[in-house]
Structure 1
Amino acid sequence: MKLIKPLLVLSCTLLLISCFGFSNKKKSDQQATYVPQEGTKVAYFASGCFWCVEAIFESVIGVEEAVSGYAGGNTLNPTYEKIGTGKTGHAEAVAVYYDPKKVSFETLVNVFFGSHDPTTVNGQHPDYGTQYRSIAFYKTTKEKQTIETILNILNDKVYNGKIATEVTKLDRFYKAEDYHQDFEKRNPNQSYVKAVSIPRLNRFKKKFPELLKKETH
């Protein structure tokens, strides 16, 4: 019986520093719908909590917007609560809207691999489960070839064949609830954001300073 209270405290602490531990559906959090510019293309990636991934891609020159959502599963109309069970097949993903005149798909793939640990199966610390797995999505044969070329080079020269990233054709992307969009930017003092998201973003900035928009330095 003496262990019950410490275990409860530990569980609550883990929730506070988990991507799934915060679900605040405030009306004031509703975000305006992004309207792509003419010529804008979209790339899709999943590499852990989408709050982190969204912030990373939005810091890159040529990226106009990154939208959090769900992809990679078979369940129709997934929600944050449903995908949090790990049973829908979907992963937390991000749709990256970019200007191909300013940034290439190849560069975005390098950002993807360079901003998380692609050898981790089903997760990125401190979030684990199939909903946090690493996936590089493609829509065309050319995109698939680009992803596989970069993956194979990294597997051979950096990760010793341990990359666990899935290369998957995009079936459908579901936009996440409004309160998830630009979450890190709007909630800088939230416990998970302070402990996980911001440090991950800063590590990326330090690694790829040449890719950053001026205001993100």
Structure 2
Amino acid sequence: MRHFLALLLVSLLLSCVTKKSADENNKSDVKDTSPAKLPELKPGEAVATFAAGCFWCIEEEFELLRGVREAVSGYAGGEQENPTYEQVGNNETGHAESVQVYYDPKIIPYDTLVKAFLYAHDPTTLNRQGPDVGTQYRSVAFYRTPEEKVSIEAAIKRFNATGEHHDPVVTQVVPFKVFYPAEVYHQGYYRAHPDEAYIVSVSEPKVNKFKKRMADKLKAGQ
């Protein structure tokens, strides 16, 4: 009985760990709050943009994939130019935390990226991912071409047909407009803060689950 109560207490404590609480705990840290620079697109590369909850986790998941050179955390889907993390977090701009992926389509086709996107988060929860609630955590697939839109819609149809979730996918499928890179200190955050409570209790389990689902698409050693 004592063991059960102890486990229950731990579970309750972890459920209180949110992105917002992690931000509050890190206020005293010295951070580089200047916007990160977007990488230049290399010959033969393509770019894709997705929103799937906290970008600390999603950036890490995409960078695990073979054929992905880099994933950049940032903001998309809103109206305001050059939004800040605080503005997005306070739902002032309409943006969602997003990740822009630079990849080689000869190694990892767009269809596989969309599959990875759906596996990287729970696309059936509206305006939330786990303990994080708000439109900044909504699920969005941004398409750049009609072909990409068709690919996304077909992937969602297949995902719904699996019955893996009782609820249908609520991912928004919208045309890409602009992506604003997040502040420098957000880039590579998952690996830079492995002992942070939010990373350990929320992000790491998602990343581990993603690794199992996409095991045949991971880079060597992952």
Q: TM-score, normalised by structure 1?
A: 0.86
The one of 159, 171, 179 aligned to 2:185: 179
Match of 1:212 in 2: 218
Residue 97 of structure 1: how far off its partner (Å): 0.4
1:80-124 deviation line (CA, Å, top 9, x unaligned): 000001231100000000001110000000000112111100010
**Matched residue type, 1:172:** V
| Cα distance in 2 between the residues matched to 1:127 and 1:183 | 17
| Cα distance in 1 between the residues matched to 2:210 and 2:17 | 26
Match of 1:164 in 2: 170
Match of 1:41 in 2: 46
**Matched residue type, 1:166:** Q
State the aligned residue count: 207
**How do residues 188-203 of structure 1 correspond to structure 2 at under 5 angstroms?**
188-203=194-209
Whether the 8 Å contact between 2:82 and 2:180 is mirrored in structure 1 is yes
Match of 2:66 in 1: 61
Match of 2:3 in 1: none
| Cα distance in 2 between the residues matched to 1:47 and 1:15 | 14
Match of 2:99 in 1: 94
What secondary structure, in the 3-state scheme, does the structure 1 residue paired with 2:221 have?
helix
1:19-49 deviation line (CA, Å, top 9, x unaligned): 6764545249997763432111101000000
Residue 186 of structure 1: how far off its partner (Å): 1.3
1:123-170 deviation line (CA, Å, top 9, x unaligned): 101111000000011010000010011112222332466111000111
Please tell me the root mean square deviation across aligned C-alpha atoms, in Å.
Answer: 2.6
Residue 195 of structure 1: how far off its partner (Å): 1.3
Match of 1:145 in 2: 150
Whether the 8 Å contact between 1:47 and 1:53 is mirrored in structure 2 is yes
Match of 2:8 in 1: none
Unaligned runs of 5+ in 2: 1-12
The alpha-carbon distance between structure 1 residues 201 and 175, as it changes in their structure 2 partners (threshold 3 A), is same
| Cα distance in 2 between the residues matched to 1:118 and 1:187 | 26
Match of 1:108 in 2: 113
The alpha-carbon distance between structure 1 residues 122 and 20, as it changes in their structure 2 partners (threshold 3 A), is farther
Match of 1:6 in 2: none
Whether the 8 Å contact between 1:44 and 1:136 is mirrored in structure 2 is yes
The alpha-carbon distance between structure 1 residues 35 and 123, as it changes in their structure 2 partners (threshold 3 A), is same
Match of 2:31 in 1: 26
Whether the 8 Å contact between 2:35 and 2:181 is mirrored in structure 1 is no
Identity across aligned pairs (percent)? Answer: 45
The alpha-carbon distance between structure 1 residues 27 and 14, as it changes in their structure 2 partners (threshold 3 A), is closer
The alpha-carbon distance between structure 1 residues 134 and 33, as it changes in their structure 2 partners (threshold 3 A), is closer
What secondary structure, in the 3-state scheme, does the structure 1 residue paired with 2:69 have?
strand
The alpha-carbon distance between structure 1 residues 187 and 76, as it changes in their structure 2 partners (threshold 3 A), is same
| Cα distance in 2 between the residues matched to 1:65 and 1:134 | 21
Unaligned runs of 5+ in 1: 1-8
